[in-house]
Amino acid sequence: MARPAVNAEGVSKRFGATVALDGVDFAVACGEIHAVVGENGAGKTTLIRILGGVHRPDRGVVRVDGVERHFVSPRDAIAAGIVTIPQELRLVPALSIAENIALGDLPVRRFGPLALIDRTRMYEQAREVLAELDFAPDPRAAVASLGFAERQLVAIAKALRRRCRVFILDEPTAALEQREITRLFSVLARMQRQGTAIIYISHRLDEVAAIGDRCTVLRDGRVAALATRGAFTADDLAAAMTGGAAKQAVTASLAGGDPLLDTRPDGTTHFRLRAHEVVGLAGLLGSGTDRMMRGLFGAGNEAARVEVAGEQRRLASPRDAIAAGIGMVPGERSLGLIMNQSVRDNILLPNLDTLSRMGYLDRDAGDRIVAEVMELVDIRPRQPSLKVGALSGGNQQKVILAKWLARRVAVLLLDDPTQGIDVAAKAQIHALIGDVVARGGGALIYSSDLGELARLCDRVLAVRQGRVMASLDRRAGIDESKLRNAIGG
Amino acid sequence: ATAQQNVTIGVSLAQDDNPFYIAMLRGIRGRAQELGWDVATVSANEDKLKQINGVQDLIARGVKGILISPIDAVGVNAAYDAAAAAKIPIVSVARGSTSPNQTIHVAMDEKQIGRDIAEWTARRLGGKGKVALLMGPSGAPTFRNLGDGYSEVMAKYPGIEIVFRSDGPLTRERGVKQAEDVLVAHPDLTAIYTANDDVALGAMQAVNAANRKGKTLVTGMNGVPPALRAVKEENLAMTVELNPGEWGRLGVDVLAAFLKGDKVEPRVFIKHVIIDGANVDAKLPKT
Amino acid sequence: MTKLSLRFDPRMKRTLNTWNLAGQMPLLSLILLCAATAVLTNRFLSPFNLTNILVQSSIMAVIAMGMTFVIVGGGFDLSVGSTAALSGCVAGMVMLEAGIAAGVAAGILAGAAVGLANGVVIAFLNVNPFITTLGTMVLVRGVVFLITGGAPVSGESGLPSEFVAFGSGRFLGIHYLVWIPAVLLAVLSFVMHATPYGRRIYATGGGREAAYLSGVAVRRVIASTYVWCGGLAGVAGVMLAARLQSGQPTAGEFYELTAIAAVVLGGASLQGGEGTLYKSVIGVFIMIVLGNALNLLNVDSYWQRVAVGAVIIAAAAAERLRSHRASSQ
Amino acid sequence: MTKLSLRFDPRMKRTLNTWNLAGQMPLLSLILLCAATAVLTNRFLSPFNLTNILVQSSIMAVIAMGMTFVIVGGGFDLSVGSTAALSGCVAGMVMLEAGIAAGVAAGILAGAAVGLANGVVIAFLNVNPFITTLGTMVLVRGVVFLITGGAPVSGESGLPSEFVAFGSGRFLGIHYLVWIPAVLLAVLSFVMHATPYGRRIYATGGGREAAYLSGVAVRRVIASTYVWCGGLAGVAGVMLAARLQSGQPTAGEFYELTAIAAVVLGGASLQGGEGTLYKSVIGVFIMIVLGNALNLLNVDSYWQRVAVGAVIIAAAAAERLRSHRASSQ
Ligand SMILES: Nc1ncnc2c1ncn2[C@@H]1O[C@H](COP(=O)(O)OP(=O)(O)OP(=O)(O)O)[C@@H](O)[C@H]1O
Ligand SMILES: Nc1ncnc2c1ncn2[C@@H]1O[C@H](COP(=O)(O)OP(=O)(O)OP(=O)(O)O)[C@@H](O)[C@H]1O
Ligand SMILES: [Mg+2]
Ligand SMILES: [Mg+2]
């Protein structure tokens, strides 16, 4: 292997009592794609944040081209040619797409000492990099007007635009469709040929197996395995990550109970969810699945009129929906959780009414429920007083599910619930959905991963422009390619 | 028949939430009504720029003359300049200005009032004791002058010591709080000077609560009815009657004389009267 | 993790864990301040002065508790000073006509009504709380002057003597004025921490969208915090009228800034979702003890301002130490 | 999309697209206010009165521009009023000793120094901006009283006559005091919209973390906004001294609230990242025209407060119409 472009030697990092990294060695060479995988909370993000100048290691050193460097801020790392696409989307919603892409390095025209923004060039550059991803929004539109996955593309474009020697991607594909992923990979391949060192973090192990030259597996803050291309398969990685064999996802039960949720037969969006049934929503970026989901939860612009368990209901707010036995896991975690509050408070939030004893809160009952559901969902650490913001992504997602499981809702609306979640946690979440369905509930699930839908669902509805265009039934067989055709991908 | 075209005069108050100015405005309005004049009022709430702006607005409105209680002797001179430029007479009432464009000043002798209060207090104390000064808002010249007059006289009494001195807003609440604290620091305090009756009434409460009634004299200033009642009940040792209503009437009369073309002295003084147990009965509003 | 430990309030547990320094900065600042003053003047710890401090703090403590509701809910209220003045004057006017009980009730209701107006505009019309309550601050002050003609409200012969006596009276050796915030603190702490409603306030302030998607009626919760704030400002206004033996139309100026400062010194976040009633009260004590100390030490009133400004900043900086580790930037 | 259209500033384009209503609420409010007043009194549109309005707005406009920097950067500044008083007094004192130019420079520098202190504490010590600038507001006022002894600064025979003349003089028929904000508006708008530095302010206010990860020196940017704000408050303080023909230690009280109200009326978000200088100036005009109109109409000063409060809330509510669609709940 060539000389590393950047490497970490024996880096350790603690956050309070948590040891996020413990003596990790890591290196990436020019022209190499080095994948990093590991369970949620294994320390992947912490590692690349150290390389990117966000955190300073407690022990160990970072070298760039063999020279020891002590980055004080991301600015230093960027100046050294290390550019990162962070895991949590970091864009400025009020600024335009082009400004976000150029931020930190705005193109200027100089008039003597005066440097003015060169807007023409800024828009051109934005258009160019966005085109590489097959994405052509108006670069002058505000980022706030974009959907979650579209913002992900902008974040990628932003990093692509920086000429860099080391390119770090922290779960860039978590919310993306196959089409965008393919585009991204071809861009990465080109950069690789040009000699860029690439660090690629993902939970989609087949992806990793496909593009990684080498792969580091982190477990509990240590390097559990380091393998080169050809020497590992997705299953090997899963085994190394968890320290044992992973279960594959469940297959759904046989469908067909009483109708649980029936949208008004207003033509194109009509569908029905029955007990014991998992229905999928599939759609491309901007197809409106998220709006459909919010609408059903009473959080759309207009009240939803639906039949729940055979009863006509008007859902004007999430409160109405919850009262009708519906729970939703939103696509963005920050919408599902109050980050600076404890796991306990978050889980109890939708359950407060049931814990009210003549106006006051039954703490003991609350604690029992929290303990029970944390056990059931396997939230780690089992510490109800921990702030949710300090949990890893997978555990955060489980907390959102726990809120609704504690309430025993009949209908779960899940907007990309396994996005950014490790294989083991993903299997657990699938199992939990299975449990809900088994005890007579129903689930409506959107996923950016069509394979997941194909495995999980009894029926998948293909959505385009907010309308249900087709319905694929499990009995007729569902597979990824059929789905892709149905949604127009 | 001469007042067919109604004359409007402008009034610019330093504040609109102080009983003194409220009473003064009432006097102005009363006298103006007798003359068949209209009154346009603006209030600055102790903001100098706002006072200049208000006077400009009055000029824009086309008033024939302006009565102003300037917040500062220099700071609002631009208002006087603007009036002069528009050839409108501008009469200071109560507070005064250094502006050459001030037409007339209907004034009180602030330093002299301060001296009179001090003399009265010193006599009562027999030339011995500890005194606290609760003065007016920082930077307001009237209250600085009052305090200076007061301190000047007290300096002549070796037996009297000023142990506390503080600026603050003219509110009853502040009177209570600061008097409470001073009485902790100096339990043997013999007199509290206050710049205003509201402060005095607050200080008086603290004195009574500390069981110092009669032992710590509280003096007021302005002569508002509740203060007169307190003097009557011997809770307040004395206050000074300024009769702001009368003051306002005088201001209108002076302006009227000037507009008629009569000769008026540039400074017209209003009398102040010390009110204590001896003469309070005559001053109490009849019930 | 044993079954037993689950029965503890996690909040209490966290507090215990970190008692030593973090989270208790406001209390430490207060103790430091008191100790320094006690060293400089022996009168500070006299029973008489301690009583003073309690009484002086009482009114602001009630206002700061109301402000805590609003700030925890993610809002802001500049109108509390004007509201207190309104309540005091309304209470006085009604009292002179219809007796003490009616007066007190009217005063508190007037405050709650202002709070309701604020709450509706802010929560349901989505107007910025800063600008809304700035508007009500000015507007309500105008209303106070209009109804009183700018003159203090005390009638011909003063407010009813029982009411005036209440302003300086004691029960078990403690002023009534001090009992009120003490009882309110106990009751309201229960509301904030032990009722579903209280938890919803924290949730709404901590993440409005997430709370909404969890079925919290966020608008109603937000509006309700302003009603608390207005109602408590009303209580404070009535207390103030008792203490000043009159309804004072000019009372309460700058109360809003003092109250917000106290709440922030008590560790609340103006982002919402954080804050504790008793710590806000500690914040009030810091402000009041500081003023008391400077008066006792006969510090020049100009230097007093310098000292107050410096201490506010220093106390806030000390409080930052606590959250320093928590925030990465 | 043609090549040509790319050359437009997108902001302008966006503004044009939505000109009809959204985004121009402040201007519409102002026009409505002017129209209503003009109907009620024919004196409103007299040249004398229009000049009045311009001069009256000038000083607050300068302060509001500084406040816009801070608010766009995600901050808050309560200390501008005290800072303006400090600058006016420092300018006066230095001017009496060392001439006009030195005085003006000293005044502005004093303001910038206060801003720098605020900025360092807020950006680098991470202390809450509300509490920090509340502290400086009180502290700086104390300093002003200390250096002036509480008395206005005008020397034995007044400030230099050229300086006083400047306060009422004109150039091309327009007051100098009006030229200053006009020129500043042009220059500073350019800074905010056409330079990378300006965009970094928006980015920092709109998403501090994102800006930080993009390599923006967020702390330096934030600190710099306070320096602008302090420096511009310094300019305003010097203008005020010229207008008041003296340095006034008590000047500038409540300016902070008026300035913040103007900026928010101009559509800025107290969350940061949004706001435009010229709209903040429109916000100032709304406040000043309102006062002017009420004076011309001889509205009682108590009713004036009621009207000002109501209009502030109404204008803010109108401005909400714009962003209404954006907020989902
Ligand atoms: N700022 C922080 N404060 C406290 N704990 C933290 C912080 N950042 C990370 N951690 C903890 O460090 C551990 C490693 O986190 P890290 O984000 O690196 O995991 P990850 O491998 O990226 O997980 P994921 O797949 O969920 O993104 C976790 O236990 C996490 O809770
Ligand atoms: N999001 C963040 N995560 C972690 N640390 C942060 C973050 N934001 C700021 N910091 C801390 O702030 C410090 C300074 O940040 P920043 O680069 O904004 O300051 P600066 O003064 O502009 O830079 P410099 O001092 O290097 O010139 C960094 O060293 C870092 O520790
Ligand atoms: Mg991660
Ligand atoms: Mg740095």
**Average pLDDT score over residue span A178-191:** 86
- The string of pLDDT tens digits covering residues D151-193 is 888 877 788 888 988 888 888 888 899 999 999 999 999 999 9
Kindly report the backbone phi and psi dihedral angles of residue C54, in degrees, each rounded to the nearest multiple of 5, phi listed first.
-60, -45
Q: Any residues with CB less than 8 A from the CB of B158 and at least 6 apart, and which?
A: none
A chain contacts of residue C204, beta-carbon cutoff 8 Å: none
Q: What is the dihedral of CA D293, D299, D303, D306, to 10 degrees?
A: -10
Query: Measured between CA atoms, how close is D297 to chain C, in angstroms?
Result: 17
| Ligand 1 near C328 CB (within 6 A) | yes
Query: Which candidate, D289, D260, D308, D314, places its Cα nearest to that of D25?
Result: D314
Coil, helix or strand for C288?
A: helix
Mutate to test the pocket of ligand 1, among A14, A18, A339, A428 (most ligand atoms within 8 A of CB): A18
β-pair type (A59-64, A108-111): unpaired
The DSSP code for C3 is T
D chain contacts of residue A119, beta-carbon cutoff 8 Å: 6-7, 9-10
Could you give the CA distance from residue D301 to residue A120 in angstroms, rounded to a whole number?
53
Could you give the CA distance from residue D74 to residue A289 in angstroms, rounded to a whole number?
34
Mutate to test the pocket of ligand 1, among A46, A387, A419 (most ligand atoms within 8 A of CB): A46
| Ligand 2 near D43 CB (within 6 A) | no
Q: What is the pTM of this model?
A: 0.85
What pLDDT does residue C5 have? 36
The Cβ of residue A95 has, within 10 Å, a number of other Cβ atoms equal to 23
From ligand 4's centre to the CA of A71, what distance in Å? Answer: 9
Could you give the CA distance from residue A142 to residue D252 in angstroms, rounded to a whole number?
38
Look at the alpha carbons of A233, A236, A238, A241 in this order and tell me if their dihedral is positive or negative. Answer: negative
Whether residue D9 is predicted with pLDDT greater than 50 in this model: the reply is no
Could you give the CA distance from residue B265 to residue D58 in angstroms, rounded to a whole number?
38
From ligand 4's centre to the CA of D223, what distance in Å? Answer: 13
Under the banding of pLDDT at 50, 70 and 90, the label for residue B117 is: very high
| Ligand 1 near A395 CB (within 6 A) | no
Whether residue C46 is predicted with pLDDT greater than 50 in this model: the reply is yes
Looking from the CA of B89 toward its CB, the CA atoms found within 13 Å total 21
| Out of C6, C206, C216, closest to residue A340 by CB | C206
What pLDDT does residue B189 have? 94
Distance of CA A377 to CAs A370, A374, A428, B255, C214, Å?
10, 5, 8, 86, 19
Under the banding of pLDDT at 50, 70 and 90, the label for residue B128 is: very high
Contact status of A18 with chain C (Cβ, < 8 Å): no
C chain contacts of residue A16, beta-carbon cutoff 8 Å: 325
What pLDDT does residue C56 have? 86
Q: Chains D/B: 3 or more C-beta pairs closer than 8 A?
A: yes
Distance of CA C6 to CAs A403, C26, C188, D282, Å?
18, 28, 25, 57
Size of interface A-C (CB pairs under 8 A): 99
ipTM, two decimals: 0.82
- The string of pLDDT tens digits covering residues C125-144 is 988 898 899 999 999 999 99
Q: Copy the structure tokens of residue B1.
A: 């028949």
Q: What percent of chain A has pLDDT over 70?
A: 95
Q: Copy the structure tokens of residue B16.
A: 């609109």
Could you give the CA distance from residue C69 to residue C272 in angstroms, rounded to a whole number?
10
- Locate the chain D residue with the closest alpha carbon to B62: D43
Q: Copy the structure tokens of residue A167.
A: 């390119």
Say if CB A144 and CB A116 are below 8 A apart: no
- First and final CA of chain C: distance in angstroms? 32
Coil, helix or strand for A216?
A: strand
Whether residue C325 is predicted with pLDDT greater than 70 in this model: the reply is no
Instruction: Tell me the helices (H) and strands (E) count for chain C, helix number first.
Output: 14, 2
Whether residue C10 is predicted with pLDDT greater than 50 in this model: the reply is no
Locate the ligand 2 atom nearest the alpha carbon of residue A74 and give its number. Answer: 17
D chain contacts of residue A154, beta-carbon cutoff 8 Å: none
Average pLDDT over chain C reads: 86
What pLDDT does residue D8 have? 38
What pLDDT does residue A489 have? 63
Per-residue 3-state assignment (H helix, E strand, C coil) for chain D: CCCHHHHCCHHHHHHHHCCCCCCCHHHHHHHHHHHHHHHHCCCCCCHHHHHHHHHHHHHHHHHHHHHHHHHHCCCCCCCHHHHHHHHHHHHHHHHHHHCHHHHHHHHHHHHHHHHHHHHHHHHHCCCCHHHHHHHHHHHHHHHHHHHHCCCCECCCCCCCHHHHHHHHCEECCEEHHHHHHHHHHHHHHHHHHHCHHHHHHHHHHHCHHHHHHCCCCHHHHHHHHHHHHHHHHHHHHHHHHHHHCCECCCCCCCHHHHHHHHHHHCCCCCCCCCCCHHHHHHHHHHHHHHHHHHHHCCCCHHHHHHHHHHHHHHHHHHHHHHHHCCCCC
Q: Chains B/A: 3 or more C-beta pairs closer than 8 A?
A: no
As to burial, measured by CB atoms within 10 angstroms (0-12 exposed, 13-18 middle, 19+ buried), residue D29 is buried
Mutate to test the pocket of ligand 1, among A13, A19, A37, A44 (most ligand atoms within 8 A of CB): A44
From ligand 1's centre to the CA of A175, what distance in Å? Answer: 19
Say if CB A377 and CB A433 are below 8 A apart: no
- The string of pLDDT tens digits covering residues D247-305 is 888 888 889 989 999 998 898 888 888 899 999 999 999 998 998 888 888 788 788 88
Query: Which candidate, A463, A454, A411, A450, places its Cα nearest to that of A433?
Result: A411
Look at the alpha carbons of D192, D197, D203, D206 in this order and tell me if their dihedral is positive or negative. Answer: negative
Coil, helix or strand for B273?
A: strand
Whether residue C232 is predicted with pLDDT greater than 90 in this model: the reply is yes
Under the banding of pLDDT at 50, 70 and 90, the label for residue C57 is: very high
Query: Which candidate, C243, C257, C283, places its Cα nearest to that of C65?
Result: C283
Q: Copy the structure tokens of residue A419.
A: 């996005």
From ligand 2's centre to the CA of D219, what distance in Å? Answer: 7
Peptide bond into D181 cis (omega under 30): no
Strand partners, B107: B94, B269
Could you give the CA distance from residue D278 to residue D63 in angstroms, rounded to a whole number?
13
**Average pLDDT score over residue span B14-23:** 81
Strand partners, A306: A263, A313
The Cβ of residue A220 has, within 10 Å, a number of other Cβ atoms equal to 15
D chain contacts of residue B58, beta-carbon cutoff 8 Å: 295
Of A175 and A216, which is predicted with more confidence? A216
Could you give the CA distance from residue A114 to residue D22 in angstroms, rounded to a whole number?
34
Strand partners, D171: D174
Say if CB A374 and CB A366 are below 8 A apart: no
Q: Could you identify the residue written with the tokens 């306002």?
A: B248
Say if CB B57 and CB D43 are below 8 A apart: no
What pLDDT does residue D19 have? 44
Distance of CA A459 to CAs A177, A292, A436, Å?
19, 17, 17
What pLDDT does residue A32 have? 93
Could you give the CA distance from residue A27 to residue D148 in angstroms, rounded to a whole number?
65
- First and final CA of chain D: distance in angstroms? 34
As to burial, measured by CB atoms within 10 angstroms (0-12 exposed, 13-18 middle, 19+ buried), residue D289 is buried
Are the beta carbons of C206 and A335 separated by less than 8 Å?
Answer: no
Are the beta carbons of D295 and B58 separated by less than 8 Å?
Answer: yes
Look at the alpha carbons of B245, B247, B252, B257 in this order and tell me if their dihedral is positive or negative. Answer: positive
Query: Which candidate, A376, A358, A359, places its Cα nearest to that of A368?
Result: A376
Are the beta carbons of C127 and D260 separated by less than 8 Å?
Answer: no
Residue A325 gets the label, from left (phi > 0), alpha (psi -120 to 50) or beta, of left
Query: Which candidate, D290, D296, D239, places its Cα nearest to that of D44?
Result: D296
Q: Copy the structure tokens of residue A146.
A: 């974009």
Query: Which candidate, D10, D3, D18, places its Cα nearest to that of D267?
Result: D18
In this structure, of B137-141, D144-148, D159-163, the range with the lowest mean pLDDT score is B137-141
- The string of pLDDT tens digits covering residues B43-83 is 887 788 888 888 988 888 889 999 999 988 888 888 998 99
| Ligand 2 near A73 CB (within 6 A) | yes
| Ligand 1 near A87 CB (within 6 A) | yes
Could you give the CA distance from residue A338 to residue A387 in angstroms, rounded to a whole number?
9
- The string of pLDDT tens digits covering residues D185-233 is 999 999 999 899 999 999 999 888 888 888 889 999 999 999 999 999 9
Query: Measured between CA atoms, how close is A13 to chain C, in angstroms?
Result: 14
Whether residue D323 is predicted with pLDDT greater than 60 in this model: the reply is no
What pLDDT does residue D21 have? 53
Whether residue D18 is predicted with pLDDT greater than 70 in this model: the reply is no
Under the banding of pLDDT at 50, 70 and 90, the label for residue C321 is: low
**Average pLDDT score over residue span C287-301:** 85
Strand partners, B194: B134
What pLDDT does residue D314 have? 87
Say if CB A461 and CB A282 are below 8 A apart: yes
Instruction: Tell me the helices (H) and strands (E) count for chain B, helix number first.
Output: 10, 12
From ligand 1's centre to the CA of A334, what distance in Å? Answer: 16
| Out of B19, B177, B205, closest to residue C56 by CB | B177
Q: Copy the structure tokens of residue A84.
A: 């990162």
- The string of pLDDT tens digits covering residues D53-104 is 898 899 999 999 999 999 999 999 999 999 999 999 999 999 999 999 999 9
| Out of B46, B60, B73, closest to residue D43 by CB | B60
Say if CB D254 and CB A117 are below 8 A apart: no
Distance of CA A142 to CAs A160, A286, D68, D200, Å?
19, 16, 21, 16
Could you give the CA distance from residue A70 to residue A57 in angstroms, rounded to a whole number?
9
What pLDDT does residue C16 have? 42
Could you give the CA distance from residue D166 to residue C104 in angstroms, rounded to a whole number?
55
Residue of the CA atom closest to atom 24 of ligand 1: A40
Are the beta carbons of D317 and C125 separated by less than 8 Å?
Answer: yes
- The string of pLDDT tens digits covering residues B174-193 is 898 889 888 888 889 999 99
Under the banding of pLDDT at 50, 70 and 90, the label for residue D322 is: low
From ligand 1's centre to the CA of A45, what distance in Å? Answer: 7
Q: Could you identify the residue written with the tokens 């919760």?
A: C221
Q: Could you identify the residue written with the tokens 């056409």?
A: D194
Q: Copy the structure tokens of residue B214.
A: 């009669």
Under the banding of pLDDT at 50, 70 and 90, the label for residue C304 is: confident
